[in-house]
Structure 1
């Protein structure tokens, strides 16, 4: 969908622009002014500010389906799928004929992997608008996904104990004479191979499938030997670099290595999940990361994010990208690798690192994290889900997640967890931050995000953290986005997301 069309979605047709406000004429006029301001913020992609103004409009007029529908769309843009779902449902409750509410609720459910619920809403739209080609397309696409998921469940039991590796004949794969790219030396990753690989990728070339299969089989073996909670020790003179989400932004990841040095035994890294999806160079990112894991297994660390999961990969592009560049079989092997990624790291018994955050219930211990059976797709609740999905909130206590998965946790939750486990603070990622990082909960919760100008539209800086063994205090380093080839984000995403939201 074109950018102009996206912006107009906020107001939609004429009724969406004017709205119907309850309350006094003065309140109605002020609410419409606030909505108009919100629409303008949406148009310039300042979605957080748009949400603020839609919220103020709703406070003055709580019976306008349009206000809830518009705020739902703004929440969708900021990945607050739980809030978007609630607002779309409220809009429908206020006006059962508000078709955009059904579209937006369906999109929210699609983003959460709830395909059956999405299909029900698309079916409603098709009944109301039988001539709407876009609605028909969404309905049929969603129907296909529901059938595909049912098929996958049916064969899952048969394949439970079988690995893609068992069906691979890597030695029998021929590297053609015309291939000029890097190759493993006697099946092993070397520093020269990694340097050549990164340059080959910078030049937008595709390495041979045999090389990737060799890397994935070996990295799966290494990861499968690791505990769910990896523990490392830094001497006083040592430091480690912690990076947040990279989301397929290969050229920005190369900039991190340019600014901070290539990984080595004396320059260790921790990449804190969400390596893939959204950005359209996800294969390049994850193959590079896996290569360095093989080269420096004790000094290059990878943790699982919520996007190292099948449902997210199906929706947000990684599955489509792997299939476009290689094959469905290769995606299945990536999926197996992702299931063995550790869920958390502890540095010097004092700093805990995970992708999402803390837990929906009190009393979780490091021993419980160690005991998680992680070789699976994440459950919808429980400690594994929370480690991948939860977010901090400024107020004490816990609340329903803005994402529709896991929870939001307050400063008191952080204090209690850290005290009970004799930790100083946590580092997590999972959220875009304008400065690339954020310190909350009185210094007990640190967020780092390493995908600058996320999805080519957020305008945020990226950041990484240095942790020194001498004091373990986070030292933040910011960086800006760098140019990349003219390949748009979400190029390989599911067509329902590419089609946008009416």
Structure 2
């Protein structure tokens, strides 16, 4: 894991160059369209055939310890040497924890080495400049690290990097991966060309906000209501069923909510993964690791909990 530890020693210039490199990789992948034999990228939308192996990691929030443990457990270098193995992070890499910059640089380093099968989705904490909120402390962390140069790095380099991150990933016939939740779609025409609509969410403020901020709730008398977060909405099971039916998928995998590593909502059709422990000592951290054979043999979506692993081996 020494290569991850080097993120603690990055200078201002090394950090800037790495963020710019990954932004270029994202832009090139979007321009080319096809990433690999099983994947394609179009702006905010990623799409894959079912990979040979899949690892999904939830919110990290500057928790370098949990990141290091998970990377150790999956032996990430050997795992990512095969392009049909996919590693996806669900967003919220910064804020709350002690090592936001180091987590972000570590992930960018992995992306630099394995650009075609390691992917970072965007969390609401990577969109503060679009949807401000009170708990954003990443910029102050940058000031502690780089002093007066921090604002320039953030404005000129990190914001374009955040804007280059995708906001949704579809794995054909299996699942939709997002950070927050599912938008409330009332236009029946939306799903006739949904992949195109999802490729450019930066021009659709409401759609992007709901993907980054929405949460599932067990409503029985409504489809949605305003969120207590002040941004986004709470969505009910009918919204989940609508998205799954129209995209021919079985499961929503998302992060955004601290929990005991994982939780289910909506008749086990929504799986929340949370992978940050240090900033949330009352909760646990976990990740998903599952093979193509295991995905294809799933009878019920609840069975996927067999493939959720606790970082502290508590599950």
- TM normalised by structure 1 equals 0.52
- Alignment gaps of 5+ in structure 2: 31-41, 299-303
Pair 1:280 & 2:104 matched: no
Pair 1:330 & 2:150 matched: no
Spell out the pairing of 1:404-415 with structure 2 (5 A cutoff).
404-415=230-241
The DSSP-based 3-state class of the residue aligned with 2:180 is coil
Pair 1:462 & 2:268 matched: no
In structure 1, C-alpha distance between the alignment counterparts of 2:185 and 2:200, rounded to whole Å: 19
In structure 1, C-alpha distance between the alignment counterparts of 2:70 and 2:255, rounded to whole Å: 16
CA 275–349 in structure 1, closer or farther in 2 if over 3 Å, else same: same
Aligned to 1:436: 261
In structure 1, C-alpha distance between the alignment counterparts of 2:192 and 2:290, rounded to whole Å: 21
Give the number of equivalent residue pairs. Answer: 276
Pair 1:232 & 2:232 matched: no
In structure 1, C-alpha distance between the alignment counterparts of 2:168 and 2:59, rounded to whole Å: 15
- 1:313 shift after superposition: 8.0
Q: Select the structure with the greater relative contact order (CA < 8 A; seq sep ≥ 6).
A: 2
In structure 1, C-alpha distance between the alignment counterparts of 2:111 and 2:59, rounded to whole Å: 17
Spell out the pairing of 1:136-155 with structure 2 (5 A cutoff).
none
The DSSP-based 3-state class of the residue aligned with 1:307 is helix
- The 8 Å contact of residues 255 and 273 in structure 2, kept in 1 or not, is answered as yes
Spell out the pairing of 1:160-239 with structure 2 (5 A cutoff).
195-201=1-7, 205-224=8-27, 225-226=29-30, 227=42, 228-235=44-51, 238-239=52-53
Aligned to 1:257: 71
- Offset from partner CA, 1:276-316 (integer Å, 9 cap, x none): 11112000000111111111111101100100023458842
Aligned to 2:140: 320
Between structures 1 and 2, the one with greater strand share? 2
The DSSP-based 3-state class of the residue aligned with 1:416 is helix
Aligned to 1:359: 183
- TM normalised by structure 2 equals 0.80
- Offset from partner CA, 1:378-421 (integer Å, 9 cap, x none): 83xx2211111100001232122121212111112211221122
- The 8 Å contact of residues 323 and 331 in structure 1, kept in 2 or not, is answered as no
In structure 2, C-alpha distance between the alignment counterparts of 1:214 and 1:425, rounded to whole Å: 37
- Offset from partner CA, 1:306-352 (integer Å, 9 cap, x none): 00023458842111111221221111211110011001111134311
Aligned to 2:249: 423
Aligned to 2:35: none
- The 8 Å contact of residues 50 and 174 in structure 2, kept in 1 or not, is answered as no
The DSSP-based 3-state class of the residue aligned with 1:417 is helix
CA 283–304 in structure 1, closer or farther in 2 if over 3 Å, else same: same
Aligned to 1:87: none
In structure 2, C-alpha distance between the alignment counterparts of 1:244 and 1:445, rounded to whole Å: 14
Pair 1:294 & 2:117 matched: no
- 1:360 shift after superposition: 2.2
The DSSP-based 3-state class of the residue aligned with 1:283 is helix
Residue 242 of structure 1: which of 44, 56, 65 is its match?
Answer: 56
Q: CA RMSD in A?
A: 2.2
Structure exhibiting the larger radius of gyration computed from Cα positions: 1
- The 8 Å contact of residues 340 and 374 in structure 1, kept in 2 or not, is answered as no
- 1:253 shift after superposition: 0.7
- Alignment gaps of 5+ in structure 1: 1-194, 482-502
- The 8 Å contact of residues 258 and 280 in structure 2, kept in 1 or not, is answered as no
- The 8 Å contact of residues 95 and 137 in structure 2, kept in 1 or not, is answered as yes
